[in-house]
Every structure is written in C-alpha cells, then in structure tokens.
Amino acid sequence: MRIAVLLRDHCQPKKCNTECIKYCPKVRTGVEAITMGDSGKPAISEELCAGCGICINKCPFEAIKIIGLPEELNTELMHQYGLNGFRIYRLPVPKKGAVTGILGPNGIGKTTSIKLLSGEETPNFGNYDNPPNREEVLSRLSGTELGDYLTKVYAGKVKTALKPQYVDKLPLVSKGVVKDLLSKVAERMTVDEAADLLELNEVINRPLDKLSGGELQRVAIAASIMKEADTYFFDEPSSYLDIYQR
C-alpha cells in the first residue's frame, strides 16, 4: 500500500516545469498516475503509483512524499487533509494525573493530534469531502476510551489549555507588554509566580514584539499553565530555548 502526500505549501507549479508529471514512468507510457488537479496542483493516484520515487527526486521544491506501507489501516484512519493530504491513524488518549509525550520528526502528526484532542478540529475519518459532525464522530467512537474523552471535551466538561506551536506569531494576536497578557489569564497562579517559574522577571514590562524567540516561548508556556484547565497541551515547548531552559 502506498500513500502519496503532496505538501501543498511547498508545491509551486507556476515556478517549475511539472517535473513530477514529466518524468513519471507511468505517465510516459500513457497511464495517468499523476495529473494536474482542479486546484492547479498535481493529483497523484495512489493505486497507479509504482513507488519508483522519481517524482520525489525531480521535484525542485521537495513537495512530494511517497510512503510505502505493508497495508493501510483503513479501520483506524482518524483524519485526512484532502486528496494526497496528510493522514493520521489512531490518537493517544489523555489520562488524568499522567503526562503523555509525542516525539518524532516534523510531519508525523503531533500538532494534528493536539488539535483533534483539544477539540480545535474534528476527526473526519478520511471523509474530507463530507466530514462528519461531532455527533457522528462520537457515535463512531462510542464505547472507546477516546470516545468517552471527546464526549467530555465537546460537552465542555473537560477544559483544555493549548500552548501553540508558532510562538513567533504571538505579537500579532496580542498587543501590549508581557504583564498585560499574563494578567488576562491569571487563574491558578499569579503573574509573579509564573514570572518566577519561567524566568520572565526581566521582560515582564517589555512589549511582546520586542521579545526573542526563547522569551516568547516562555511567555506562551506561562500563559498556558496559568489557566485553570483539566488538560494542558504544549505543542513544541522546547523550541528556541537553550539547553538549561529545556
């Protein structure tokens, strides 16, 4: 079984000669293994793909991944981002009083898992054209530990706090100084307590747009742990930090 993934933010058909189509052995023999889709980007037929890897090597923007699997786990597909889009199978389930860590390289689904578990996104089980609503999701997951957890999330019985991945965008969504931001979310600890814990005393009165990457990371972590929540999600909490802070 092959899964073809097109990294749409990398793919730039207007700046290349569609090498993926031009050099595909199947296409050259008349088989439409890769065609130009309605979106203006290539569409790869996973059934017709030979898995030769030529399109991967020829693409000047490294926008194609062909992943070989012994067998696709159709019954456990949790979410898919469109045709030739990323797919994630299964999800970890948060447990009370426990810490769960997801480790791995970029693109394996860490951020997607957090979005699904926090309720920010709803699983579509691969049906991206006609995604199910929350009731249908819970019906499909009925009787499972994950279903029980999401039932509480969707009903608002589990409050979540999310530390986002891209902390460099924090100054775009929040203005003012560090103290102003932390004061808005001070629930389970004070601003002074959070500043001491995350070593923010030196920047507590500094504007957010004047902070370094590491300082923004620590502010984002502080803002998350200050909230009163049942489940806390930290997406890439060690980025920009030095070895001691990590």
For 176-200, the DSSP string reads SBHHHHHHHT-SSS-HHHHHHHTT-
What CATH number did the domain enclosing 52 receive?
Answer: 3.30.70.20
> Residue 119's domain spans which residues?
74-158
Q: Are residues 134 and 167 in the same domain?
A: no
Is residue 27 assigned to a domain?
Answer: yes
Instruction: Say what the pLDDT of residue 201 is.
Output: 95
Tokens 């088989």 belong to: 31
Among 102, 136, 158, give the residue marking a domain's end. Answer: 158
Q: Let me know whether 181 and 149 are in one domain.
A: no
Query: What would the mean pLDDT of 15-32 be, rounded to a whole number?
Result: 94
Q: Are 190 and 136 in the same domain?
A: no
Percent of all residues in the chain with a pLDDT value above 70, rounded to a whole number: 97
81 with 62, same domain?
no
**Nearest Cα to Cα of residue 175 among 202, 210, 226:** 210
Q: Which of 242, 244, 237, 243 shows the shortest CA–CA distance to 219?
A: 237
What is the tally of structural domains in the chain? Answer: 3
Lowest mean pLDDT among 33-47, 61-75, 133-147, 183-197: 61-75
pLDDT band at 39 (very low <50, low <70, confident <90, very high): confident
- Partnered with residue 5 across adjacent β-strands are 65
- Select from 127, 66, 118 the least CA-distant residue to 232: 118
Last residue of a domain, one of 139, 158, 177: 158
- Whether 127 is in a domain gets the answer yes
**Averaged pLDDT, 203-210:** 94
Pairing mode, strands 160-163 and 231-234 = parallel
**Which tens digits make up the pLDDT trace of 127-136?**
999 999 999 9
Residues 111 and 166 in one domain: no
> Would you say residue 226 lies in a domain?
yes
- Whether 48 and 37 map to the same domain: the answer is yes
Write down the pTM of the prediction.
0.70
